[in-house]
Structure 1
Amino acid sequence: MTTPRPAATESRSSASGGVAAVDRALQILTAVESASESPSLSELSRVTGFYKSTILRLIVSLERAALIVQRPDLRYELGPLAFRLGRAYDASHQLEEHVLATLHRLVERDTQSASFHMRYNDRQRLCLFRVNSHHSILDNVKTGDLLPLSHGAPAKVIQHFHPLSGQALDSETPLLFRSTGERDPSCAAVAAPVFAAHGLFVGALSLSGPRACFDDDAVAWMSDVLVEEARQLTTALGGDWPAAD
């Protein structure tokens, strides 16, 4: 049996200037959120690398805040506050209504499958919304899927525009990104950023599908459509599309 070793995680948290206990509590919360089934204490220990005693101590605060609840079978799941936060996030950003309308509009214009991606953590992005194309689908991405932040056109958008990216943005920063066979050798994609009020980057709007459907002519046409819709979505969310010099 492997003994969890939390010390390295704790030292990194402290060195980064955060509060180590809060960072560890959020890791536990993330582990519960991302588990395919409600995890047990042993499973949380294995996933996080924390001692069971550490998890039990921190879960007291998470339970008190209604972020996590323990079921009668002693497994853990998200609590009611997590649901309320999700609903509040959707309401404040008006995302679902406007993004889904945009994705449906893109697909009705005979594009490839349309998706909206957000940064999930420093390694992954979340497909928050997805509408499949009327054409052949090879990428099989679904709403709620976690995908690598290192590959794909939406990942490139997030890497450039997310506030945590550290990228310097100027008038020469591209507003359209393309990928071919990066995440899946048989697929390709184009993506553009979406902004809200005060220049806040919200996420990446993308079109993806079979690689054969992304020749230069198709990419040029879909790129024009995608940028047009990204600009309209930005306006709907109260943002301003970056002006070209």
Structure 2
Amino acid sequence: MTTGPQRAKQGGGVQSVERTFELLGLMADAGGEVALSELAEKSGLPLPTIHRIMRTLVGSGYVRQQPSRRYSLGPRLIRLGETASRALGAWARPYLAELTEATGETSNMAILDGTQIVYVAQVPSQHSMRMFTEVGRRVDAHATAVGKAVMATMPPDAVTQMLSRTTMHAQTERTITTIEAMHEELARIRQQGYALDDGEQEVGVRCYAVAVPGAPAGTAISISGPEGRMARISTDEVIPLMQRLARDLAAEITVSNTA
């Protein structure tokens, strides 16, 4: 039987873990580098508590202290992120394969990392002319369907804060380049249930994307192909399929995380 003091100790340990991950999440949301005062303001935790946690993270290599005394995410997180991305990609491939088989076009899974989208899985089209995005490639979120699909699930203030950290430069003449226009676009995405990249990342390429509900790190799946072929795909048919696959994938990830 677990005694009262033991339960209290276990509860305190769990609380410390929760606080540690909360602070790491806040650092990621802030672009990877923050001051202790910023963490205190955003988390509501006492400065001595934050300092103690950060000192532990610095000692283990998960956080670095800069000469300016600000804190940044450390290199040991890279290995964790790469491993998590590979696992997420492995879970996604059967669902992406079903999507590619149904549409004939390349399907992808991507996650949000800061202001960029990182592609973690792909099932290519069998067409000789097809879209190919290297797994691991990073692109600016504002110019992609997957990025917009993820941003549409975020609170507007968080979107504004995120986009304020990037120049939102134009990839093509169709790229959305202002925060105000992006908020209008995200409102349309929330209403229609999917995001569209119509030549915004690359001229002549169209992409549809939907967010994976409840998945980690802001995740979306997409199909992409030449504009001419993609124009013949019925959104009334493919979007419900993508939404169903996204829900099924989210359910599998949730089960795997709780097993």
- Give the TM-score normalised by the residue count of structure 2: 0.54
Counterpart check, 1:206 vs 2:227: no
Residues 151-190 of structure 1: matches in 2 within 5 Å? 151-162=143-154, 164-165=158-159, 173-190=191-208
How many residues get paired? 173
Task: After TM superposition, give the deviation of residue 225 of structure 1 in Å.
Answer: 2.3
Question: Does the aligned pair in 1 maintain the 2:124–2:131 contact within 8 Å?
Answer: no
Counterpart check, 1:83 vs 2:99: no
CA distance 1:185–1:86, change in 2 (3 Å) = closer
Residues 63-142 of structure 1: matches in 2 within 5 Å? 65-66=60-61, 82-84=78-80, 86-87=82-83, 89=84, 95-122=88-115, 124-142=116-134
1:179-232 residue CA offsets vs partner (Å, 9 max, x unmatched)? 2111111100100110237xx674111000111111154444332321221122
1:62-114 residue CA offsets vs partner (Å, 9 max, x unmatched)? 9953569xxxxxxxxx9666425643x469xx623321221122223243101
Higher relative contact order (CA 8 A, sep 6+): 2
Q: 1-side partners of 2:126 and 2:37: how far apart?
A: 47
What is the DSSP-based 3-state SS (H/G/I as helix, E as strand, rest coil) of the residue aligned with 2:202?
A: coil
Q: What residue identity is the alignment partner of 2:38?
A: G
Q: Please, which of 195, 220, 226 is the counterpart of residue 242 of structure 2?
A: 226
Q: Unpaired runs of 5+ in structure 2?
A: 1-32, 41-55, 64-73, 161-182
What is the DSSP-based 3-state SS (H/G/I as helix, E as strand, rest coil) of the residue aligned with 2:210?
A: strand
Q: 2-side partners of 1:191 and 1:177: how far apart?
A: 5
Task: After TM superposition, give the deviation of residue 117 of structure 1 in Å.
Answer: 1.1
Q: 2-side partners of 1:194 and 1:237: how far apart?
A: 10
- Give the TM-score normalised by the residue count of structure 1: 0.56
CA distance 1:225–1:83, change in 2 (3 Å) = same
Q: What residue identity is the alignment partner of 1:152?
A: T
Flag the structure with higher helix content.
Answer: 2
Q: Unpaired runs of 5+ in structure 1?
A: 1-11, 20-60, 69-77, 240-245
Q: 2-side partners of 1:103 and 1:193: how far apart?
A: 14
Q: 2-side partners of 1:217 and 1:140: how far apart?
A: 19
Q: Please, which of 137, 143, 167 is the counterpart of residue 135 of structure 2?
A: 143
Q: State percent identity of aligned pairs.
A: 17
Task: After TM superposition, give the deviation of residue 119 of structure 1 in Å.
Answer: 0.8
Moved beyond 4 Å, runs of 4+: 12-16, 61-64, 78-81, 166-169
CA distance 1:202–1:121, change in 2 (3 Å) = closer
CA distance 1:195–1:206, change in 2 (3 Å) = same
Q: 2-side partners of 1:191 and 1:225: how far apart?
A: 11
Task: After TM superposition, give the deviation of residue 18 of structure 1 in Å.
Answer: 4.1
